[in-house]
């Protein structure tokens, strides 16, 4: 734990009244090593000097010479190692944008304070201070895998499907699952797809990977169907899968061989990649699959390069609102506006809506009140192994009954 009197705090603000007031508030809370600057240049001089280098900077955004955003960039160049609190009279959106920039520069930030600052809010933010967390980041495994390792993993079936439920918000019924692949690595443990999907895409392994994921998902679906669980199974399809017309034959053949109907299969297409120079091939594949009654889902809606254009061009019948616009949308006007617009657009286009990243009861409540069709996220369940699914379904049904997830508010 830290002692308030040992922390060097620098306040940077062009307003002398704010400097005086914050210094006083900090002193009342036991922070006595406080220096002040009314411009960025002087502040950088303090930062360069070991004796005056602060552990924490309270930074105003709007200053006449060097503004706060520019100052943050210089902080990086001057190898500032401490934390940051933004203090500003700017509105919430501006502060959030600034916060994102600070994060992008990897400067640890305690949060932001709206002017006028009150002693309570100042105390609350300083209480979140963990001075050593940033200096000793926990070791993480950043190992990069080669195409060869991944090829072997695919051949040896080291890739394992997990399944995350999609449930009806109105009835609580379990409608389907999204297949999420993981690599059960012999020595490194569980590896998530963000560490290997791009390797597959860059090394012409994505068709092999998707074939394995789809084959396993179809076997799982068949076994669920046989035990009476009529789940719709979604798999993620990369734009690179849609580069060759063979892909549609592959999908049709595998689904037919498994004895499943296209109506029970959803293809989730992410729009995080720009469609290749020739968009005709993906369009043709997706249109033909839709004609055969496969479901097509536009994934991570709102985050990619051309969401509206894809919506216009491809006959999607499901829209997944990205988790970045779902979780806490009830508390944030910007998120809420994007969430509402996505939902409304999907409804006008007669598409089924899925909200991703539903993490708590308040998120769930928002979906219920706004009439979103399906929910997916950790509030419902984390991704599960196929074998865990029947037990989870039983416990979910119980939860729907006992936690009154379908009732109107209290
Ligand atoms: O749980 P999560 O970390 O599983 O997944 C991260 C991302 O990886 C998601 O955006 C998901 O779309 C993607 N992903 C998961 N499984 C597959 C897959 O089988 N194929 C492709 N192309 N992407 C996948
Ligand atoms: O394909 P897509 O990007 O939609 O994949 C969903 C991703 O979101 C996966 O990485 C999955 O593990 C992750 N995920 C699922 N539920 C939640 C949740 O409630 N919160 C967060 N933050 N991530 C989730
Ligand atoms: Mn997905």
Domains (ranges, CATH) in the chain?
4-135 (3.40.50.2300), 147-402 (3.20.20.450)
Neighbours of 90 (CB within 10 A): 18
Mean pLDDT of the chain: 90
Does the beta carbon of 299 lie inside 6 Å of ligand 2?
yes
Q: What DSSP line would sit under 7-25, residue for residue?
A: --EEEE-S-HHHHHHHHHH
Which residues fall within 8 angstroms of residue 112, CB to CB, at 6 or more apart? 85, 86, 87, 88, 95, 98, 99
Grade residue 106 by pLDDT with cuts at 50, 70 and 90. confident
Q: What is the pLDDT of residues 277-328, one digit of tens each?
A: 677 889 999 999 999 999 999 999 988 766 788 888 889 999 999 999 999 9
Q: Is the whole model's pTM more than 0.75, yes or no?
A: yes
Judge whether residue 271 has pLDDT over 90: no
**Distance from Cα 269 to the centre of ligand 3, integer Å:** 7
Question: What pLDDT, on the 0 to 100 scale, is given for residue 96?
Answer: 87
Per the model's pLDDT, the better-predicted residue between 97 and 291 turns out to be 291
> What is the distance between the alpha carbons of residues 261 and 47, in angstroms, rounded to a whole number?
65
Element holding 296 (H helix, E strand): strand 295-301
Quote the Cα angle for 342-264-250, to 5°: 100
Question: Which of 31-35, 142-146, 396-400 is the least confident region?
Answer: 142-146
Question: What pLDDT, on the 0 to 100 scale, is given for residue 138?
Answer: 45
Q: Which residues pair with 374 in a beta bridge?
A: 168, 354
User: Alpha carbon of 285 to those of 208, 273, 372: distances in Å?
Assistant: 18, 17, 28
The share of the chain scoring above pLDDT 90, in percent, equals: 69
Neighbours of 167 (CB within 10 A): 27
Judge whether residue 191 has pLDDT over 90: yes
Of 342, 357, 348, nearest to 166 (Cα)?
357
Does the beta carbon of 241 lie inside 6 Å of ligand 1?
no
Helices 206-226 and 246-257: angle between axes, nearest 10 degrees = 20
Q: Which ligand is nearest to the CA of 182?
A: 1
Does the beta carbon of 383 lie inside 6 Å of ligand 2?
yes
Query: Average pLDDT, stretch 8-29?
Result: 93
Q: Whose CA is nearest to atom 5 of ligand 2?
A: 180
Question: What pLDDT, on the 0 to 100 scale, is given for residue 136?
Answer: 41
Of 236, 241, 247, 377, the residue with max ligand 1 atoms within 8 A of its CB, to mutate for a pocket test, comes to: 236
Does the beta carbon of 298 lie inside 6 Å of ligand 2?
no
Question: What pLDDT, on the 0 to 100 scale, is given for residue 137?
Answer: 43
Does the beta carbon of 236 lie inside 6 Å of ligand 2?
yes
Query: Average pLDDT, stretch 11-15?
Result: 95
Query: Average pLDDT, stretch 251-266?
Result: 97
Per the model's pLDDT, the better-predicted residue between 63 and 128 turns out to be 63
Q: Which ligand is nearest to the CA of 237?
A: 1
Which of the residue ranges 99-113, 251-265, 270-284 has the most confident prediction, judged by mean pLDDT?
251-265
Does the beta carbon of 240 lie inside 6 Å of ligand 2?
no
User: Alpha carbon of 95 to those of 43, 66, 336: distances in Å?
Assistant: 21, 17, 17
Ion ligand 3 neighbours, Cβ < 5 Å: 236, 268, 299
Burial class (CB in 10 A: 0-12, 13-18, 19+), 384: middle
Question: Which of 61-75, 200-214, 251-265 is the least confident region?
Answer: 61-75
Query: Average pLDDT, stretch 257-279?
Result: 83
Q: What DSSP line would sit under 326-378, residue for residue?
A: TTTGGG-HHHHHHHHHHHHHHHHTT-EEEE----SHHHHHHHHHHT-SEE-ST
């Amino acid at each position: 734990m830290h002692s308030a009197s040992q922390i060097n705090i620098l306040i940077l603000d062009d307003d002398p009244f704010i400097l005086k007031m914050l210094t006083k508030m900090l002193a009342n809370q036991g922070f006595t090593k406080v220096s002040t600057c009314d411009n960025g240049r002087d502040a950088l001089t303090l930062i360069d000097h070991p004796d005056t280098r602060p552990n924490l900077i309270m930074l105003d955004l709007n200053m006449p010479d060097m503004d706060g955003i520019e100052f943050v960039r210089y902080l990086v160049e001057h190898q500032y190692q401490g934390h940051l609190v933004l203090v500003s009279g700017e509105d919430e959106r501006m502060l959030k944008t600034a916060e994102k920039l600070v994060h992008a520069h990897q400067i640890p930030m305690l949060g932001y304070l709206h002017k006028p600052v009150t002693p309570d809010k100042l105390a609350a933010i300083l209480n979140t201070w963990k001075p050593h967390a940033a200096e000793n980041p926990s070791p993480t495994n950043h190992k990069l895998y080669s195409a060869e390792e991944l090829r072997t993993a695919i051949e040896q079936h080291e890739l394992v499907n997990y399944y995350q439920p999609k449930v009806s918000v109105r009835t609580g019924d379990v409608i389907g699952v999204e297949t999420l692949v993981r690599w059960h690595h012999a020595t490194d443990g569980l590896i998530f797809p963000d560490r290997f999907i791009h390797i597959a895409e860059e090394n012409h392994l994505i068709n092999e990977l998707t074939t394995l994921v789809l084959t396993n998902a179809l076997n799982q679906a068949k076994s669920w169907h046989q035990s009476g669980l009529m789940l719709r199974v979604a798999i993620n399809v990369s734009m690179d899968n849609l580069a060759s017309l063979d892909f549609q034959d592959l999908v049709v053949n595998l689904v037919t061989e498994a004895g499943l109907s296209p109506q029970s299969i959803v293809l989730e297409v992410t729009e995080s990649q720009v469609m290749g120079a020739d968009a005709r091939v993906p369009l043709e594949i997706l249109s033909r699959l839709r004609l055969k009654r496969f479901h097509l889902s536009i994934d991570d809606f709102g985050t990619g390069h051309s969401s509206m254009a894809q919506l216009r061009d491809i006959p999607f019948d499901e829209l997944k609102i990205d988790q970045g616009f779902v979780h806490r949308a009830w508390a944030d006007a910007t998120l809420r506006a994007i969430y509402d617009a996505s939902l409304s657009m999907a409804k006008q286009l007669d598409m089924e809506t899925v909200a991703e990243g539903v993490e708590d009861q308040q998120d769930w409540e928002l979906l219920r009140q706004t009439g979103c069709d399906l929910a997916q996220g950790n509030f419902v369940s984390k991704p599960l192994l196929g074998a865990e699914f029947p037990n989870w379904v039983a416990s979910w049904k119980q939860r729907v009954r006992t936690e009154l997830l379908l009732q109107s508010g209290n």
